[in-house]
Structure 1
Amino acid sequence: MYSKNKTGKVFLVGAGPGDPGLITVKGRNCIAGADVVVYDYLASPVLLAETNPDAEMIYVGKKGGDHTLPQDGINALIVEKAKQGKVVVRLKGGDPFIFGRGGEEAEVLIAAGIPFEVVPGVTAAIGASAYAGIPLTHRDYTSDVAFVTGHEDPTKAESSIDWKALATGIGTLVFFMGVKNLPTIAANLVSNGCAADTPVAVIRWGTTPKQKTVTGTLDTIVDETRKAGLKAPAIIIVGGVVNLRKTMQWFETRPLMGRRIVVTRAREQASDLVHQLTECGAECIQCPTIQVVPPPNWESLDKAIGILSQYDWVVFTSVNGVDYFFRRLFENGLDVRSLGHIKTATIGPATADRLRAWGLKSDLLPESYRAESVVKAFSTTTLKGGRILLPRAREARSVLPLELTRMGATVDEVTAYATLQAANNAEDMIARLAAGTIDMVTFTSSSTVKNFCRLLPPDRAERLMQGVTVASIGPITSQTALDLGLSVAIEADTYTIPGLVQAILGYRG
């Protein structure tokens, strides 16, 4: 990033049309290195989460008809912050220089003598049309395209748009911010020579799981849009290329398209589940109910690490157990060579993969992913007189150490990490549940279930969960949910994140 001096610097960054994956690498780097981020209504929370924890976050609205801070105020704000020597990112939906008022902001910065850079973004015209299956140009249809503001005041005495040229001289038209003025746009095009049966598409929330597309013609699109209830933010595409959507649409046909799914897993571990569900079309609402933290003290784990030579086995029951054990091992000045004589067992392929990442291959991997299966796997091994180290969560179930002890082993169960109730957006989630806008809640452990239920007001819990599908990663988690009064509709056959996603995809409820 830009090195700081007496005068800061401003980056006018295009965040893209909605899908956070469409931001440029440079744009993402700017966000991560900023002291101040001034962002709009359309900026993805995923991108905002990538800021420096110490960065100042300032929301300035820019929602149609509801500006938290007017443009003159935004201009003054970015100048003020830059003059304080700060690196400022002005994060704008789409591209800064395409109906993003980035040019006006650049002029203000030039007048104030503040250095700036423009980081282009994927404009909504390109992103939303592509995700709707509409190529803006095509050799068989048109070789020209025009981007037009749709936000002109319909009461103006004279339009600054050359409607005659647009209606008869351009193959594809893309109108930004024009849903409110759609009747005027359609009427102006037809009255200036555009055929009434010209295909039209209106795309709302393009490139996001909330995307919805309505098609028609210039003489029907107003009614079709009204029937569908489409409002801003949306773009309008006019031209023959709209017909290609019939065969080219790909985004809105995904199996979980539009489903709103709550992910309760710890935020630092939720990315796999969020990514896989999002790829299938779901809108994920992250409400982490647990936070994985170090234990209150390292005494028991440090003691075990100090006598590793006395152990015959180390059993890892989770990815967290692996990570916390090895981090502490290294902090004690040791490495994987200290385990050269020890055999290892892991619950689940994800845990085995994480162990392999630390340089060890699991000697024992049970057929299924629960403590009882580890006990069964050990039944063919002589444990009598052996010593087993079990580094795991402070709150873990007692089945495993009890059964291994019954088999004749000495089991040292030590706390490698703890799970706590996480700070989250519970109020937002509860409001969504009350409004009936959540379709499913996913649970990946008993802890996530317990802490989720603690978030719900006791007198409203049953009512809030009516009509909400509960998806569980496995039988232990399901039993916890049932014990707490939740009805489990989906349970993974394979107790992994991919297994949970497959179970969700196969659900026909």
Structure 2
Amino acid sequence: MWLVGAGPGDPGLLTVRGRELLATADVVVTDRLAAAVLLDVARPDAHVIHVGKSPTTSRSQDEVNALLVEHARAGARVVRLKGGDPFLLGRGGEEAEACAAAGVSCTVVPGVTSAIAVPAYAGIPVTHRGVAQDLAIISGHLPPGHPDSTVDWAALGASRATIVVLMGVARLVDIVDALLAGGRPPATPAAVVERGTTPAQRVLRTTLDALVVDAVAFGLRSPAVLVVGEVAARRDAAVPIPPVAAATAAPGARAGSGWPGAAGGAPLAGIRVLVPRTRARQGLLARRLRELGAEAVETVVSRLLPTGDATPLREALPGADGLVLADSDEVAAVVSLLRGAGTDVRALTGLTLVAASASAAAALDALGLACVRSSAEVQVAYTVVTEVPVPGLRVVICGAAAPPVGIRTLRRVPLLVDAPAEADPRIAEELRHGDLDAVTLASSTAARCLVELYGPLPDGVLVAAMGRRTAQACEAMGLRVDAVPSEPGIYPLAAAVVDLVASRRAPTA
């Protein structure tokens, strides 16, 4: 079992070792604060378990410990993916302790901590020669004066150390009062960095005495890092992630509408877009949205299941020369349907099996079945077969593949049906708390499954649908559609989101 630090939010800050382990894991147990895009590094068949770790929704620490032990004892390669660094206010020590007590080997892979990286991304050095030589990193989870707190707030108030507080948004009033009571001057610079190191980063710069009022006007939300001390007034470096929406408020200033302006030529800077996917593999739409500056939050909303009826397949095979399989899911479905009908892959004897993708070829090879590969492929929504290097075949096509060029298609047999996946508690929470600005729906299946899993979307969420059929599916599910691009495709859909956001940001008369 490995405890892997995911870093503070920017996926580029995941360590090389962390990426290697994540790519080979059988089971990934992840927090809410770990960047969702990091899960694209994991294998498509990896079991991903979300354990929350948010102020409102979370599994207990005992439940998390039990999950790690259970899967590790079953022989799985388990990666516990934790935001920031596992051993800095992340309860990684407790998880390592639980594994050791259960006889499970545990290795720690340190991560970049938000306590230092987040201020740095706002241009704030937590130490600076002649200004601050000491640093205190504090948990704000417990309020000052709580009997279980080990923090000496009076001493911190009396010191000149830079104070960095994690998990302190809910206790902001108590923290400010404790520092002022301990002797920190009211005019001490203070800064709060919300969603640090991500494209949605916002920075509030103010003073200690004005911090609470300014935070309310700013609309401050968790997760955020608080910095108190002379260094909080500094801007010693450019923000290293283009683009970042740095909505900076002066002391006493009020924040805007909550829709930060575009920065650095990226029209979706500061915008969080939900991208429901119907397959586990990484989506090109999310990549395009990130290129435009958005924070794309991907989630798989559907899964493929065998139809359960082998009759169409068995009726189609007599008289056929070949069977075209689009991917590994279709190979697995063929095996499942044949077994359900009381037979096995021997029913395919004499057929030329055509693999339309590398995953289909690998799956057939694992079964000991020879196959031919299509000589050309085009990736659209599924793998599309364009040519098969065996002329004259009469083939049966399984579901997703398109008819091969120059080959007679006897019949198309659907093997798989879409069904809603399991709801992701992280997504449910972000929708509930209004943390998402827009949703892109690339198919009618994505629209249907999204609503079935999470219910109606909040009124303020913009919805862009790819094409008329997807828009009709949205309407059938009671989902308002704000934009449909004039032509289908990833780029037009992303452009529709840009237009929606520009319209929302435009000042009203």
Compute the TM-score of the two structures, normalised by the length of structure 2.
0.62
1:178 to 168, 181, 184: 168
Question: What's the CA shift for 1:22?
Answer: 3.5
2:279 aligns with: 267
- In structure 1, C-alpha distance between the alignment counterparts of 2:60 and 2:30, rounded to whole Å: 11
1:202 aligns with: 192
Question: Deviation string for 1:181-211 (max 9, x for gaps)?
Answer: 4334334444555442222122344345665
2:417 aligns with: 420
2:18 aligns with: 27
Report the CA distance shift for 1:148/1:264 in structure 2 as closer, same or farther (over 3 A). Answer: closer
1:498 aligns with: 491
- In structure 2, C-alpha distance between the alignment counterparts of 1:103 and 1:244, rounded to whole Å: 34
Question: What's the CA shift for 1:220?
Answer: 0.5
Residue type of the alignment partner of 2:18: G
Residue type of the alignment partner of 2:164: V
Question: What's the CA shift for 1:495?
Answer: 3.9
Question: What's the CA shift for 1:219?
Answer: 1.0
- In structure 2, C-alpha distance between the alignment counterparts of 1:484 and 1:396, rounded to whole Å: 28
Question: What's the CA shift for 1:90?
Answer: 4.2
Question: Deviation string for 1:344-376 (max 9, x for gaps)?
Answer: 9x9xx855998899999xxxxxxxxxxxxxxxx
Contact 2:144 2:151 in 1 (8 A): no
1:378 aligns with: none
2:7 aligns with: 16
What CA RMSD, in Å, does the superposition of the two structures yield over aligned residues? 5.7
Question: Deviation string for 1:45-93 (max 9, x for gaps)?
Answer: 555673785759584x65448774356x766776677677765544433
Report the CA distance shift for 1:220/1:301 in structure 2 as closer, same or farther (over 3 A). Answer: farther
1:286 to 287, 294, 299: 299
Contact 2:29 2:79 in 1 (8 A): yes
Aligned with 2:89: secondary structure? Answer: coil
Question: What's the CA shift for 1:477?
Answer: 5.7
Contact 2:4 2:82 in 1 (8 A): yes
- In structure 1, C-alpha distance between the alignment counterparts of 2:407 and 2:385, rounded to whole Å: 26
Contact 2:277 2:283 in 1 (8 A): no
Contact 1:395 1:419 in 2 (8 A): no
Contact 1:18 1:207 in 2 (8 A): yes
1:221 to 211, 232, 238: 211
Aligned with 2:84: secondary structure? Answer: coil
Question: Deviation string for 1:407-427 (max 9, x for gaps)?
Answer: xx9985863876732323579
Report the CA distance shift for 1:230/1:427 in structure 2 as closer, same or farther (over 3 A). Answer: same
Contact 2:144 2:178 in 1 (8 A): no
- In structure 1, C-alpha distance between the alignment counterparts of 2:84 and 2:112, rounded to whole Å: 5
Question: What's the CA shift for 1:476?
Answer: 7.0
Question: What's the CA shift for 1:217?
Answer: 0.8
Report the CA distance shift for 1:234/1:303 in structure 2 as closer, same or farther (over 3 A). Answer: farther
Question: What's the CA shift for 1:223?
Answer: 1.7
Report the CA distance shift for 1:147/1:506 in structure 2 as closer, same or farther (over 3 A). Answer: same
Residue type of the alignment partner of 2:8: P
Aligned with 2:169: secondary structure? Answer: coil
Question: What's the CA shift for 1:124?
Answer: 1.7
1:442 aligns with: 440
Report the CA distance shift for 1:258/1:393 in structure 2 as closer, same or farther (over 3 A). Answer: farther
1:92 aligns with: 82
Question: What's the CA shift for 1:122?
Answer: 1.7
- Worse overlay, 214-223 or 187-196: 187-196
Report the CA distance shift for 1:389/1:18 in structure 2 as closer, same or farther (over 3 A). Answer: farther
Report the CA distance shift for 1:203/1:436 in structure 2 as closer, same or farther (over 3 A). Answer: closer
- Worse overlay, 154-163 or 142-151: 154-163
2:267 to 229, 247, 255: 255
Identity of matched residues, % = 34
1:125 aligns with: 115
Contact 2:393 2:408 in 1 (8 A): yes
- In structure 2, C-alpha distance between the alignment counterparts of 1:173 and 1:490, rounded to whole Å: 46
Counting only pairs closer than 5 Å after superposition, residues 418-497 of structure 1 correspond to structure 2 as 420-425=417-422, 439-444=437-442, 448-449=443-444, 452-453=447-448, 469-474=462-467, 489-492=482-485, 495-497=488-490
Counting only pairs closer than 5 Å after superposition, residues 81-480 of structure 1 correspond to structure 2 as 88-106=78-96, 115-137=105-127, 145-151=135-141, 153-155=143-145, 160-161=151-152, 164=155, 168-170=159-161, 172-192=162-182, 194-208=184-198, 211-230=201-220, 232-244=222-234, 248-249=238-239, 250-252=243-245, 253=263, 255-257=267-269, 259-268=271-280, 271-279=283-291, 280-284=293-297, 286=299, 288=301, 291=304, 297=313, 325=356, 333-335=371-373, 412=409, 415=412, 420-425=417-422, 439-444=437-442, 448-449=443-444, 452-453=447-448, 469-474=462-467
Report the CA distance shift for 1:487/1:107 in structure 2 as closer, same or farther (over 3 A). Answer: closer
- In structure 2, C-alpha distance between the alignment counterparts of 1:139 and 1:304, rounded to whole Å: 79
Residue type of the alignment partner of 1:185: I
Compute the TM-score of the two structures, normalised by the length of structure 1.
0.62
Aligned with 1:226: secondary structure? Answer: helix
Question: What's the CA shift for 1:236?
Answer: 0.7
Contact 2:272 2:294 in 1 (8 A): no
Contact 1:147 1:173 in 2 (8 A): yes
Question: What's the CA shift for 1:453?
Answer: 4.4
- In structure 2, C-alpha distance between the alignment counterparts of 1:40 and 1:84, rounded to whole Å: 22
Residue type of the alignment partner of 2:268: L
Aligned with 2:244: secondary structure? Answer: coil
Contact 1:301 1:416 in 2 (8 A): no
Contact 1:178 1:235 in 2 (8 A): yes
Aligned with 1:219: secondary structure? Answer: helix
Question: What's the CA shift for 1:218?
Answer: 0.7
- In structure 2, C-alpha distance between the alignment counterparts of 1:80 and 1:488, rounded to whole Å: 44
- In structure 1, C-alpha distance between the alignment counterparts of 2:486 and 2:271, rounded to whole Å: 22
2:506 aligns with: none
Contact 1:325 1:416 in 2 (8 A): no
Aligned with 2:498: secondary structure? Answer: helix
- In structure 2, C-alpha distance between the alignment counterparts of 1:291 and 1:255, rounded to whole Å: 35
